[in-house]
Chains A and B, each alone.
Chain A
Amino acid sequence: MLGFYKGLLYLYPAAYRREYAAEMISVFRDAHADISGATYCDRLSFRMRETFGLLTGAAQEHLRVLCGDSSLTPLTRFNIRPEFRFPRSTVILMLVVLSGVLLTVEKARVVQSKYGPVYVSMWPSLAWFLGFVLLVTFAAAACLWGILFALGQTGTQRLANLEPGTNLKD
């Protein structure tokens, strides 16, 4: 197991390995000695935990090196504000959309198996159709944003009106 552990350490960036690998191996060796008399399940759980910990740790360190951003693995929990959470109805709506897509795919498959493949090019009309859909969508979004802006309810306006650091009342 120690050989496997040392092998997994090579997944970390070289600078991280130079700094922490010796300590990590030492801690792992002690922890492994502790678990040697434990049950098979405990030993398996230990091995899985260590493997998963190294894989996720290595991925995080590479991301940090690539992005140069420690906020990817923050020390603090992300505190989501309840008023900005998606409503539960969003989940239902997404499920309805997914069901619609699956039903459409299934229907298309039935039609194709019934009438055979159709060799008519659909691309010219599809381009116009997509353009029209995009235009309508942008127009609808612009109207909606205008209404929200007039009501002072756009995202930026709501954020600007927030009171920072609201305390709990005893």
Chain B
Amino acid sequence: MEPIALTEPVFLVLLSLAEQPRHGYSILKDVERMSDGRVKLSTGTLYGALRRLLDQDWIERVEEDEAPRDRRPYRLTSRGRRNLQAEIERMRRLTKVAALRIARKEV
């Protein structure tokens, strides 16, 4: 398994692409919506993350003939999806432990 514990912007970008392929602006708005407006990515941060994800083969461009050059959609690769699932599992276990600890403290 690959190292997990993703940075928050990268995690949210992957989560946004998990549902469907999206282009840059759509990812930006979806990340903002998912985080209740708490995470607002700049275009510099977004495309820095997309470039690294493309380099590591976690996402890929969807080749569409009719898509304009400035609105190219991206989608998760199977490797990216696997890593996202691993990260979600890690977080699930962590929140479970946290909930148990809090419950013990309250008793």
Contacts and interface: CB of A to CB of B under 8 A. Distances in A.
Interface of A: 16, 19-20, 22-28, 30-31, 49-50, 52-58, 60-61, 70, 73-77, 79, 168-170
A26 B96 CA distance: 42
Interface of B: 3-7, 10, 23-25, 28, 40-53, 55-56, 58, 69-72, 93-94, 96-97
Given A24-B43, A27-B25, 18 more contacts: A22-B70, A23-B69, A23-B72, A26-B24, A27-B28, A31-B43, A53-B41, A53-B42, A53-B45, A56-B44, A57-B45, A60-B48, A70-B52, A70-B55, A76-B3, A76-B5, A77-B5, A168-B94
Contact of A170 (B6, B71, B97): B97
A27 B5 contact: no
A167 B57 CA distance: 27
Contacts of B5: 76-77, 79
Contacts of A56: 44-45
A54 B43 contact: yes
B97 A168 contact: yes
B-side binding surface: helix, strand, loop or mixed? helix
A27 B46 contact: yes
Nearest to B10: A75
Contacts of B43: 24, 27-28, 31, 50, 53-54
Contact of B52 (A25, A31, A75, A77): A75
B6 A20 contact: no
B25 A25 contact: no
A75 B42 contact: no
Contacts of B28: 27, 31
B53 A75 contact: yes
Contacts of B4: 76
Given A27-B28, A54-B44, A57-B47, A75 B7 contact: yes
Contacts of B94: 168
